[in-house]
Chains A and B, each alone.
Chain A
Amino acid sequence: MRLLLITAMIAMSGFAARAEEAVTLKEAPGRDIVEGYCGACHSLDYPRINAGFLNREGWESEVDKMIKAYGAPIGDADAKTIVDYLTANYGSGG
C-alpha cells in the first residue's frame, strides 16, 4: 500500500514545516549532529519535552532504540556525540 499512496504521501504538511522552524535546541557542541540525525524523522520538540529526567543511561537507551528499533543510520561516533549532547543539555543532571 505504500506504493499505492507514494504520490499522495509527504513527510509533513507545509503548515507544520513552517511552525516547526521555531523549535530550536540549545547551542552547544554536537547540536548540528543532533539536529541532522534526530530531525530527519521527528521534530526537535521530542527531546525538549523529554528534558530534565533522563540521565546518560536513559539517553543512551533512547538513542539505541532509534538505531536498533527504528533503523536510524547513526554510526558509533555520532551516536556518542548525540548522547553527550542530550545528557549535557537535556539530561537530569544526575
Chain B
Amino acid sequence: MISRRALIAGGALALAGSASPARLQAADKSFLPRGLPEGVYGTATLEALPGKKPLIKLSYRPPNYETPLSYFRSEFTPNDSFFVRYHLAGIPEEIDPAQWKLTVSGEGVARPLELTLSDLRANFDPVEVAAVCQCSGTRRGFSEPHVPGVQWGFGAVGNALWKGARLKDVLSRANVRPETVEVALNGADGPVLDGTPDFIKSIPLDKALDENTLIAYEMNGAPLPHYNGFPIRLVLPGWTATYWMKHLVSIEAVTKPFAGFWMKSAYRIPSGKFPIVQHFLSQMAAANEPITEMVINSMITAPAEGFTLHAGESADIRGVAWDGGYGIARVEISTDGGDTWREAELGEDVGRFAFRVFRFAFVPPRPGRYQVMARASNTIGQTQAEKLIFNPAGYNNNVVRPLTVNAV
C-alpha cells in the first residue's frame, strides 16, 4: 500500500515541473488529448467559470467544461476543478438557499412534502458517501467513428465526498406507497424554448430506496459549487451522472414508467452490448435500454502524453480507476503497447464507489518511445474493453487507451 499523502506529495512535485494552465492556453492545445474531432482543437479553451479553476471549455451555453487530466491528483477531485455539464441553457443564477424548496409529490406518495434546506439538514440523518460522478458521455470524443454531441475527452468525471439526506428517508417521510414504480427528479434548470423538453430523469424505486442514494447538500465538506448543482443535487452512487439531478426542486413518485424525452429517447444504450449488471427494468425497450451503472474504467493522469522520461531512472505512472460500485480489484500497467502487463500498487480504499488511485514505478530500460497503458479489473471479474463497443451516442467508452512517452 502507498499512502494517500505520498501520492499527493508526488503529484505536487510533478505538477510543479509542468507548464501552468495559463501558459498551456497561450502556447498550444496540449491540455487536450489526441483523438478528438478536429474541430475541438480549434475551439476548446482553458477558461474559468465563476468559482472554478480553468477547465477545458467545450461549450459556453449551456456550459460544458471538463477537468484536465493533470488535475486528478488524488482520490478526491477538488470542487473548483470538478467538471460542469448542462443540457439546457436556462440555468438558475443567484440562488438564495434560504428560499429553496424541494417538493415531494406524485401518485406514489400519501403525504406530499415541501422541504427547505434547513429541513433536510435538521430532520434527516446526515449521511456521507464517496462516489464518482461521471457523465455518460465522457470520452465520447474518442469514438471511432466520431459521433455528434459534446466532444468530451477524459475529464467529464470526478470523485467527491458527498453529504446529505438519504432519498429513502425523505420518501419514507412522504409515506411512499408500494405501487410506486419510479421516482422522477427535476432541477431548476430548464429549456430556452417552450417546445424543448425539460430535463427530467427518473430512477427505479429500488435505487431510490438504496441506502447510498442521497440528496446531497455538501461536496467535499463544502456547499456544492453553483455549477455542480447548488444547493442540492441527487447522488446515485454507481450510476452515471445523468441521474444526478442538479439544483433539485422536485421529486415525484410515479406509478407508471416516466415517459419524458430524456428517459424514452435520450441516454439509452443498445441492449446486450455492454456487461451491465443493473438494468432499469421499467424502462427497457426491444433494442435499447437506459444507461445505468458506470462501466469499469481507469485513466493515467501522469505522466502526460509525450512526456520525456530518463532511461534507467524510475518514474511514477499514476492514475485513478473506478467502476459501478463493485470495487477495483487490480490495475495492470503495460509499457510495451499491451504485450506484457504488471500489477500497479493500489492506493487507499476510500469506498467502493470512489476513485482508486494507482501507482507503478516505471524504469525505461533504454532511450526510445514507450506505449503506456492501464487496465483495471473489478471484484466481479470485469475488465476494461480492449476494443470500442460502438454505440451512436458514444456512451460507456472504457477502452484501454495507450499514451506515448519518450525516454532519453
The answer to the question of A29 belonging to the interface, with a C-beta cut-off of 8 Å to chain B, is no
Indicate if the CB atoms of A20 and B193 lie closer than 8 Å: no
A49 touches B60 (CB 8 A): no
Across the interface, do A54 and B148 meet the contact criterion of CB distance under 8 Å? yes
- B47 beta carbon closer than 8 Å to chain A: yes
Q: Report whether B59 and A10 are in contact in the complex, using a CB–CB cutoff of 8 Å.
A: no
| Residue positions of A touching B, CB distance < 8 A | 1-2, 4-5, 8-13, 15-16, 19-20, 23, 40-43, 45-54, 58, 61-62, 69-73, 90
B39: chain A residues at CB < 8 Å are: 47-52, 90
Query: Which residues of chain B have a CB within 8 Å of any CB of chain A?
Result: 37-40, 42-44, 47, 49-50, 57-63, 89-96, 101, 103, 145-146, 148-151, 186, 188, 190-198, 249-250, 261, 265
In the docked arrangement, what's the CA distance between A54 and B143, Å? 13
Residues of B within 8 A of A61 (CB): 148
Tell me if A41 and B196 are in contact (CB < 8 A): yes
A50 touches B151 (CB 8 A): yes
> What would 26 A/B residue contacts be, using CB atoms closer than 8 Å?
A2-B198, A5-B92, A8-B92, A8-B94, A8-B188, A10-B93, A11-B61, A12-B60, A12-B89, A13-B50, A15-B50, A19-B60, A20-B60, A40-B193, A41-B193, A41-B196, A42-B89, A45-B59, A45-B60, A48-B42, A48-B43, A50-B148, A51-B37, A52-B38, A52-B39, A70-B195
- In contact, A42 and B44 (Cβ under 8 angstroms): no
In this complex, which of B37, B49, B191, B194 has the most chain A Cβ atoms within 10 angstroms of its Cβ?
Answer: B37
- Chain B contact surface mostly: loop
Bound-state CA distance A69–B96 (Å) is 33
Beta-carbon nearest neighbor of A48 in chain B: B43
Contacts of A13 in B (CB 8 A): 50, 93
Residue of B nearest to A62 (CB): B148
A-B complex: 10 closest residue pairs judged by Cβ atoms? A71-B195, A51-B39, A43-B61, A53-B146, A52-B38, A48-B43, A43-B60, A20-B60, A1-B249, A70-B196
**Distance, CA A58 to CA B195, complexed state (A):** 23
Which of A2, A42, A62 is close to B61, meaning CB atoms less than 8 Å apart?
A: A42
CB-based contact B90/A58 at 8 Å = no
Question: Which residues of B are found within 8 Å of A1, using beta-carbon distances?
Answer: 103, 186, 188, 249-250
CB-nearest residue of chain A to B198: A2
